[in-house]
Structure 1
């Protein structure tokens, strides 16, 4: 049997949930990168259209709650956490609240300790959390540099809370991850993701052939190609916005593409920054220009709950449609109204741009 088949097959594992909603319980020892992985997973699934929530059930490590809260903001997802209390009760309340707010996928971050001294207490806590939450998937986070200790650690976690999948972290350094073989052997679980850096977007679906090549020191060209494809997809989204601006046309699809790219300072943000305030036909304040992560998250969910007809012509959205959209997106009618107000201000602004062809030329959005 080839090494790649040992990991569950030649191809990449299925990473999208089999059903919705879906609850993931993250487990692992302290220092494995579990909390960072929770944020990366949230960003990964959110960028693929799922409404995601993060729950901090780690009351053991100082700063764990704030770290996960910050990651949730960076990923643009919902968050729940409590400073103190029983981990299993916090986890249960968090999952329940986020699901009630419309989350389709909830990730629960748990405490991790240094393996042996606190092991009995840690594993017992894992059992209690798993019983309280009843997750659809228990995901074990393993440091690529852990070596042969991986077998013992993975086996003990698997006995406490049966592991369904594995995430390998810190593959950006010199560690090749050979110890992961031991974790797979101990649990029978399949490796699902690998972390390749510290940034929140540096998480990739596991590729058995590429990983085996890495263990053997051959590198992974497929991962590089995937990065290129993601960059190209983002560029295409930006191009859609630029084309709409040049034509003086804006729909909710335009707004959606702009919100998706706003973390890279999307085209509309660049446009607003380059204009003197007096030239705007509608007053666009700092709050509208520099949309907070929470607002971006809400607005994306609202747009995702619209019909094709509403996306192409937001003016048809009346009070009844607002209520339906708010219910489907886990937001309020006031949130929907706020998004529509923003849409209309952008639309009015673009009409002003169309009348001023010299301005468009200076911005490079039309030919001389």
Structure 2
């Protein structure tokens, strides 16, 4: 006998979320909800309807295809993004994960006007670690996740990877 039945909901189905969640709730005793596919154009407004229909809290959200993209649900950032106000707290967390403050050597080089291709390469790596561009732009107030189309994002990432490959083939001179 399960003690926690989790309803996993696809955010991209939009307004159909409520009816689907209600039908699921009528069959089993839902204790919590996980909302997936919040990395696309879906904002997750249907998730609120699903929560109301199941009378269960959202515990996790999925914002991508990897395990790192599965994160605990936080009310404030979710509502803020839903209203198009971004997620400054999430953006700060992403930047802090990069530990840029630990790079004293780079800061000193920049103070003296020195910035090499190797330094640029490291910064490109940091950008890649932050996640998809559209996800990062979605955290900035005024920019939505649909500010950058999927095609443009893939093209930008491909260009960045190509540039990094070229830099990998260079020697230190």
Place the TM-score, normalised by the shorter chain, in its bin. 0.5 to 0.7
Q: Deviations over 1:307-362 (max 9, x none)?
A: xxxxxxxxxxxxxxxxxxxxxxxxxxxxxxxxxxxxxxxxxxxxxxxxxxxxxxxx
Matched, 1:196 2:63: yes
Q: Which residue of 1 aligns with 2:27?
A: 160
Distance in 2 separating the partners of 1:226 and 1:138: 31
TM-score by length of 1: 0.26
Distance 2:26 2:96 in 1: 40
Deviation for aligned residue 1:231:
5.0
Q: TM-score, normalised by structure 2?
A: 0.53
1:155 and 1:173 map into 2 onto residues whose CA distance is: 24
1:228 Cα offset (Å): 4.1
CA contact (8 A) 2:59 2:72 kept: yes
Runs of 4+ off more than 6 Å: none
What's the offset of the Cα at 1:205?
1.1
- Give RMSD over aligned pairs: 1.8
Work out the number of aligned pairs and report it.
100
Question: In the aligned structure 1, how far is the partner of 2:18 from the partner of 2:69?
Answer: 25
Is 1:185 aligned with 2:45? no
| Unaligned residue ranges in structure 1 (runs of 5+) | 1-133, 236-368
Greater C-alpha radius of gyration? 1
Work out the CA distance in 2 between the residues paired with 1:164 and 1:225.
32
Q: Deviations 1:49-82 (Å, cap 9, x if unpaired)?
A: xxxxxxxxxxxxxxxxxxxxxxxxxxxxxxxxxx
The unaligned stretches of length 5 or more in structure 2 are 103-173
Decide which of 66, 69, 75 is 1:208's aligned counterpart.
75
Taking the aligned partners of 1:231 and 1:199, their CA distance within structure 2 comes to: 18
SS of structure 1 residue aligned to 2:45:
coil
| Cα distance between partner residues in 2 of 1:231 and 1:139 | 33
Q: Offset of 1:214 from its aligned partner?
A: 1.1
Distance 1:206 1:139 in 2: 14
1:147 matches 2:20: no
